[in-house]
Amino acid sequence: MKNKTLTLITILLLPITTLLPILKTEAVVPESAKVTDIIGRNTMTLRRKSGQIGPVSLQSVMRLWDKLILNPDNNNPKLFTKLEFYDRQNKPLNLKLLAGIENNLRTNYYLPCHVDSPDSFIISWENPKTRKLGCRKGIKVKSGETVTSRHNSAEMIASINLLIAQQKIYQWRYCSVVDETGKGWLGLKSTRSNPCTQPLKQCEEEGQGTCTELTTDDWNTDDLNMVASIECDNNQEFFTRGTGEDIKEKAEKLWKDAVNNGSVFCGFHVFSEDEIVVTPNPVNDPVMVQVGEADSCLTFQVSSGEVTLNSYQDPQGFTLPKGNLYNYCLDNKPNTLSSFDPTDESIATQIFKARERGYQLCNELQESGGQEGSKRTIQLTANQGVLTLDYQMYQVPDTVILSYEGKELVRQENVSGSDSISIPFEGKSGQVTVEIIGNQDISTTKWDYRLQCPQ
């Protein structure tokens, strides 16, 4: 594991800004995310910043501080949805995400850059070297497990007694903003208002060129173990520890230290002991990492490129390269690091890549046609279960063939009318092939079919 350079206080003869050329940052906080694919039974809801809750469909658009909720369904637990991210000009930010339910666990995504209770997530930065990169300063991943605090009872009682005597603030929001030279401003708000408003105003009044939000998120004041972290260009990092109550003052001082040190293009985060910040490293290959949770451990599996992981246990962070799997465990369980074969793709990875490979998705009306017939590869949500093929051949008979891993599971020759065929299957692949051989003697033949996602 490769450690990044950690800087607490650095003394330089010249500020960094005098050594660097004027640069325009494009590492922006996404303003919106669009739902581009849904595979499986749609049980999702979208909670708006206003508190309004509604359904989710293809082309639904999330806005800043909206929450996408994937609700488990015992009858059909597999569900995946793909998101693409955009800036305020509605231009793509080279960031895509697949949120999924594979283990019947509720999971959430908060816009702009926050994964909560990850059953299954794929995070992909398509061009990590570009400065126009959504969530470039990291996506925060929070465990859905309840963490046993490492503070002792006396510390907790003292903290509670202190809070009784004052008005309770339950949450702080933060935002870091930079201008084109990399000079930065930090905003902190204890209300549900936008923490970026004030630092953007300061940047516009005092800075040079375009002002850009690098990070924005929140933390809860009832968390007892917190880290405030500042990650800047040129591998400069600053961090401090505290509680959810006192980390604000410590973070403000830390930000002043970074500014006085001449650090530029700094992104700010606060995270607790059950959270990790995942940041793409600027390598030549696209960055793809699968995030999940099992047995009180957050899991990070890099199938392309490399990422940096910053946590309460390791706030300075370390590099996780392609082919490595890291388990970040809670409640004093040991963390583990192992290797895997990136070519052995998970179902989630196969779903993420299905469209670019030209595959259809199960549960869609895959195709309709006539005498020319068709042969399609269809992406599934699992590699075992029961497949159900619904077809309509109308009056003129045609032939339908369903194949999996090179073997025919169904072959119905010269059939007309409608039918629904169910058959169990099990293997390694997440795709099946459906072939329709149109009637060559009657040109008016027509047909359509739909392959349901596995049960």
Residues of the chain with CATH 2.60.120.680: 360-452
Residues in CB range of 97: below 8 A, 6 or more apart: 33, 82, 83, 85, 109, 121, 122, 123, 124
- Tell me what the mean pLDDT of segment 84-92 comes to: 93
Q: How far is CA 267 from CA 4, 65, 117, 337, in A?
A: 15, 18, 24, 27
**Residue closest to 366 by CA, chosen among 356, 354, 377:** 377
pLDDT at residue 72 is higher than 90: no
129-139 burial: b if 16+ Cβ within 10 Å, else e: eeebbbbbbbb
Q: In this predicted structure, what is the pLDDT of residue 105?
A: 84
Q: For the CA atoms of 267, 271, 275, 278, what is the dihedral angle to 10 degrees? A: 10
Whole-structure pTM value = 0.85
Q: In this predicted structure, what is the pLDDT of residue 14?
A: 31
Q: How far is CA 266 from CA 184, 251, 288, in A?
A: 7, 13, 23
Q: In this predicted structure, what is the pLDDT of residue 2?
A: 41
Please write the tens of the pLDDT for every residue from 324-344: 999 999 888 899 999 999 999
| Rg of the chain, C-alpha, whole Å | 25
User: If DSSP codes are grouped into helix, strand and coil, which group holds residue 353?
Assistant: helix
Query: How many whole angstroms separate alpha carbon 136 and alpha carbon 130?
Result: 9
* Alpha-carbon 278 to chain mean position: 10
Q: Whose structure tokens read 């910040």?
A: 277
pLDDT at residue 160 is higher than 50: no
Which is more confident, 21 or 106?
106
- Tell me what the mean pLDDT of segment 111-130 comes to: 92
Q: In this predicted structure, what is the pLDDT of residue 27?
A: 55
Query: How many whole angstroms separate alpha carbon 283 and alpha carbon 27?
Result: 15
Please write the tens of the pLDDT for every residue from 387-426: 999 999 999 999 999 999 999 999 999 999 999 999 999 9
Q: Whose structure tokens read 């800004």?
A: 17
pLDDT bracket for residue 155 (50, 70, 90): very low
Q: In this predicted structure, what is the pLDDT of residue 167?
A: 60
- Tell me what the mean pLDDT of segment 151-166 comes to: 44
Strands of 336-339's sheet, edge to edge?
Answer: 61-63, 32-40, 79-86, 92-101, 120-125, 287-294, 297-304, 324-329, 336-339
DSSP string, 337-348: EEE--TTS--HH
With left for phi above 0 and alpha for psi between -120 and 50, is residue 405 left, alpha or beta?
left
pLDDT bracket for residue 146 (50, 70, 90): low
Question: Is there a contact between 143 and 117 (Cβ–Cβ < 8 Å)?
Answer: yes
Which of 167-176, 252-261, 401-410, 424-433 shows the lowest per-residue confidence on average (mean pLDDT)?
167-176
CB atoms near residue 5 (< 10 Å): 10
What's the angle, vertex CA 256, arms to CA 252 and CA 258, rounded to 5?
115
Q: In this predicted structure, what is the pLDDT of residue 122?
A: 97
pLDDT at residue 149 is higher than 60: no
Q: In this predicted structure, what is the pLDDT of residue 266?
A: 95
Question: Is there a contact between 346 and 299 (Cβ–Cβ < 8 Å)?
Answer: no
**Residue closest to 433 by CA, chosen among 397, 412, 406:** 406
Query: How many whole angstroms separate alpha carbon 107 and alpha carbon 85?
Result: 19
Query: How many whole angstroms separate alpha carbon 350 and alpha carbon 364?
Result: 17
pLDDT at residue 383 is higher than 80: yes
Please write the tens of the pLDDT for every residue from 208-218: 999 999 999 99
Q: In this predicted structure, what is the pLDDT of residue 166?
A: 53
Percent of the chain with pLDDT over 70: 89
What is the average pLDDT value for the chain, to the nearest integer? 87
Query: How many whole angstroms separate alpha carbon 338 and alpha carbon 359?
Result: 32
Question: Is there a contact between 238 and 8 (Cβ–Cβ < 8 Å)?
Answer: yes
- Tell me what the mean pLDDT of segment 374-387 comes to: 94
Q: In this predicted structure, what is the pLDDT of residue 141?
A: 96
**CATH topology for the 360-452 domain:** Jelly Rolls (2.60.120)
- Tell me what the mean pLDDT of segment 274-279 comes to: 96
**Residue closest to 287 by CA, chosen among 133, 127, 120:** 127
Q: In this predicted structure, what is the pLDDT of residue 238?
A: 95
* Alpha-carbon 335 to chain mean position: 22
* Stretch (H or E) spanning 303: strand 297-304
